């Protein structure tokens, strides 16, 4: 189930399965994505809960569709992400920018698949989450990350 939303003039948001959507695009200036982190548990059984329920805050009444990609082990997750990152590169303009959101558990594999997909890795930006859940007996997961880079060289202004 895909849908397209126009956010502003010249800005289009494609929502759906990237493996279906990316081959239909051309001339993309920016890839901004928040893929499933596939980090919902230590064991496969922990990761097998329904995605429609997994990412919903208690009391939320919104119904969301199921999606794939969130029950993989780290290696298959990295291979899968390399696949769609290379598709994204293929449809992007030479100076396109990519930003991929990730959490601390998937940060190392995210920088790997970013480069394996052919992108030039430029850095990591922390995203300070103001509304984070306290973690009893350990540091809070107050931060997520944006791995960013470009399809090729970037001119400095």
Question: Of 14, 21, 58, 51, whose CA–CA distance to 36 is shortest?
Answer: 51
pLDDT at 97 over 90: yes
Rounded CA gap, 72 and 102, in Å? 15
* Cα distances (Å, whole numbers) of residue 2 to 21, 65, 75: 8, 11, 27
Domains of the chain by start residue, with CATH: 3-37+75-150 (3.40.50.150)
Task: Show the CA angle centred on residue 146, arms to residues 141 and 150, nearest 5°.
Answer: 165
Coil vs helix vs strand at 3: strand
Handedness of CA 81, 87, 93, 95 (dihedral sign): positive
pLDDT tens digit sequence for 118-133: 999 999 999 998 887 7
Selection from 19, 25, 17 nearest residue 1 by Cα: 17
d(CA 118, CA 141): 30
Query: What are 57-72's pLDDT values in tens digits?
Result: 666 666 666 656 566 7
Q: What is the pLDDT of residue 142?
A: 85
Q: Whole-angstrom Cα distance, residue 143 to residue 137?
A: 17
Q: How much is the pTM? A: 0.77
What pLDDT, on a 0 to 100 scale, did the predictor assign at position 29?
93
């Amino acid at each position: 189930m895909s849908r397209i939303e126009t956010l502003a003039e010249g800005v289009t948001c494609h929502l759906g399965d990237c493996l279906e959507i990316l081959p239909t695009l051309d001339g993309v200036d920016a890839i901004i994505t928040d893929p499933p982190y596939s980090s919902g548990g230590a064991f496969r059984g922990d990761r097998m809960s329904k995605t429609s329920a997994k990412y919903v805050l208690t009391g939320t009444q919104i119904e969301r569709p199921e999606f794939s990609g969130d029950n993989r082990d780290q290696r298959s997750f990295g291979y899968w992400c390399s696949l769609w990152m290379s598709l994204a590169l293929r449809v992007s303009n030479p100076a396109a920018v990519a930003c991929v959101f990730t959490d601390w558990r998937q940060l190392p594999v995210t920088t790997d698949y970013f480069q394996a997909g052919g992108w030039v890795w430029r850095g990591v930006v922390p995203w300070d989450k103001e509304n984070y859940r306290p973690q009893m007996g350990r540091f809070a997961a107050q931060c997520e990350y944006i791995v960013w880079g470009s399809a090729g060289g970037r001119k400095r202004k």
